[in-house]
Structure formats: structure tokens, C-alpha cells
Structure 1
């Protein structure tokens, strides 16, 4: 199975989970140092095929086919430029990620004390702290990408980030790792959200 085939299968799984409703979200896989394959805008993620992915130039965002890629193309290409080891990027609109991103006012969401932190590459214990950066949402994707790149110059940017009121973007060294990071983070977000709601009662 190729990485693109694995991504199509993962998109169907994401769609079944309801994590990319109303054609929301976007997914990509790196082809090589120059190109990636990115989901076309306005497509239902639960029924994507290989033909629904467009070749995009990582350095420029150019789409040779002339078809319309996802609105967040600039975030995918940024991740591939920042992290040569990243080979798959998943952006979803889950309820837990979206609500938690609005509840948390700090620039990072700190996760600590959860055994499932070990679903994230390199995490060995629940005692460590995992910081997921939060960025204010912006319809100007180029400006948003610049802010994320500026953050990454000064602080670690691992696994993924949250956009306030928008959702989660995460990545991995291949599609399977990106999928594991997505599932692990979504579980952690749900635990954190439920805990905060219980503490408010």
C-alpha cells in the first residue's frame, strides 16, 4: 500500500468518526522533497479517492493541475518545509479540539498526567508535560503561516497545534504515525475537556 492509499483509508476513518464534518478538514502526504498530495477543496473526507488529491509544490503552493486545493494549503506546505521528517499532515474539526481551543486562554495547552501521552512519538511517561501551541484563527492563511513559523523559531513545535475555534492540525513521519497522533491527541483533548467541565461544577 502506498502512502497515498494509506491516506485515503485514513480519511475514510476520519469521516466515519465525524471529525471532518460538512467537507471540513484537509489531509496531505509528502511525495518527495518538492511535492505533496493535498485533498481538493469541498470534498467529503469520508468518501475521498486518490483522484481527489492534488499535487502541490511545497516551496510555492503551486498546483500544476489548476484545480482548487484546500484553503489551508499554506499550513501543510509550511509543515513540510519546517520538518523534513514530516510525511503526512492531518487537519480536522473535532468538537473536543474546537471547544478546548476556545476554553484555553494561554498560548499553549499543557497536557500532563495522562498515560495516553505515550501515544505521541518520543513520549515515555505520563509525568512529562506535552505542550500543544494555540494560535488565533485567521482567514489570511499566509499571515497565519508566518505566525506559526515565527513561533517555531523560538519554541518546540511537535505533533501538532490548535487553531482557536477551528480545530487541530497534526503530523507524523508517515500516515500511520500521523493517524496515531490524531487519535491520541483527540483522546487527550476529550479527557482534558471533561476534566475542566467537571472542575467547574
Structure 2
């Protein structure tokens, strides 16, 4: 088994245990080199991945020497790798918390501040900073979604992750371990934010 596949299989089992990728939702990827990434094939349950459930794609999302079909959102993964050469892995999940929070916010981002867990996100050393996680409108047109991300990134490069409204979270990092940490940290922060909204302590 390739080391890259093993890392994604381990991540999939852990994510499944958290309940963050029900059914066959979500997709994962890890950078292979400057021009390609290993991604999950479409329709695979993320808690039961095997080495046969992955394929290499180029940075346009096209399969390389494989008859497998890449996950529908592969184009967003490759767009992120192209936008930031430091991104080494991307984990896309469908947790209830992230999905609901993405629908109740009134603006274009979740604004987080005052939480110690913000320090789980690379580059943050204090709870006082404002953490902004942008939320994009959902669409089945992945090229349109990738273009929207490109447009926002041009004005303000995104860090750690993004939300797609009514859909889920994309979290990334310089490697699979950092991507997992960012995913876990963001899920905790989102749960806290959603609870504050439920309690009426903050607006959505």
C-alpha cells in the first residue's frame, strides 16, 4: 500500500468515527507532487477505504492512468493546491454542525473570536484574534465554485478551511496531520459558535 493512500485511509476511519462523513459523502486528497494529487474515487464510504479507492488526478481534475471516476468536488481540491503550493492535503467533510452553521449565518463568513481552540489553527497564538472562515453558496457546478473561491482568494487568501453552505467543510494543511488538526479544531469552534447562536448570545 502506498504511504499516501495509507494516510488517507487512516484519516477516513478517524473522520467516520466522528460522524463527519455519513453515507458516501465527502472526499479527501493529498498532494502527490507539483502536478498531481491522490484523491478518493466517487461513491466510496470514507470509513471503509482501501487502496483501490484512490486515483491520481492532474491539477485540472483529470484522472491519470485510471478508469476510476474522481469525486465530484475534485476540481475544488485541485484549485486549492494551485492557489497555495504549501497546501499538502485537503479533507472535505459533511458534519451536521458545519452544515447547519453554514446555513444560519447571515453573511459570507463565520467570524470566530474568544476561543482558546483558535490556537489549533496554524499561525494563531491567541484567543483574541478574529478568525474568518468564508462560506460559499452551494452549486453542483464545481468550476463555478472554484472560480468563486479564486475570486475571494485574490482579495484575501483563505486559511485553514472554507464552508459551502448547506454542504460542508473543506479543511486543509501543509500535510495530512495539519489538515486533520485544522479539521478537528474548526469542528470544535463551529460547535461552540452554533451553541452560542442557539443560546441567543450572538447573532447568526
SS in 2 for 1:199: coil
The correspondence of residues 87-98 of structure 1 with structure 2, limited to 5 A, is 87-98=88-99
Give the secondary structure class of the aligned counterpart of 1:54: strand
Structure 1 consecutive aligned stretches of length 4 or more whose deviation exceeds 3 Å: none
Give the distance between the partners of 2:52 and 2:174, measured in 1 at CA: 23
Greater helix proportion: 1
Distance 1:3 1:113 in 2: 36
Superposed counterparts of 1:164-183, under 5 Å:
164-183=165-184
- 2:107 is the alignment partner of 1:106: yes
| TM-score, normalised relative to structure 1 | 0.96
State the distance in 2 between where 1:45 and 1:173 align. Answer: 21
Q: Secondary structure at the match of 1:36?
A: strand
In structure 2, the partner of 1:74 is 75
CA contact (8 A) 2:102 2:166 kept: yes
| 2:17 equivalent to 1:16 | yes
RMSD: 1.3
Asked if structure 2 preserves the Cα contact closer than 8 Å seen for 1:101 and 1:165, the reply is yes
Partner deviation per Cα, 1:166-194 (whole Å, 9 max, x = no partner): 00001000000000000000000000001
- Aligned residues of 2:138 and 2:167 also touching (Cα < 8 A): yes
Whole-angstrom CA distance in 2 between matches of 1:22 and 1:29: 21
Q: Work out the number of aligned pairs and report it.
A: 200
Give the corresponding residue for 1:188.
189
- Separation in structure 1 between the aligned mates of residue 61 and residue 26 of structure 2, nearest angstrom: 18
* Cα contact 2:133–2:163 (8 A) shared by 1: yes
1:6 is displaced (CA, Å) by 1.6
Secondary structure at 1:38 match in 2: strand
- Determine the C-alpha separation between the residues in 2 that align with 1:47 and 1:163: 25
What is the CA-CA distance between 1:17 and the residue it aligns to? 1.2
Deviations 1:17-62 (A, max 9, x none): 111101000000000001100001100000101221111011x211
Measure, in 1, the Cα distance between the counterparts of 2:119 and 2:188: 12
What CA distance in whole angstroms lies between the structure 1 residues aligned with 2:74 and 2:23? Answer: 18
Do the aligned residues in 1 keep the contact of 2:4 with 2:38 (CA within 8 Å)? Answer: no
Alpha-carbon distance in structure 1 between the residues aligned to 2:159 and 2:5: 23
Counterpart of 2:135 in structure 1 is 134
User: Structure 2: 5+ residue runs without aligned partners?
Assistant: none
Q: Compute the displacement of 1:66 (Å).
A: 2.6
TM-score, scaled to structure 2: 0.95
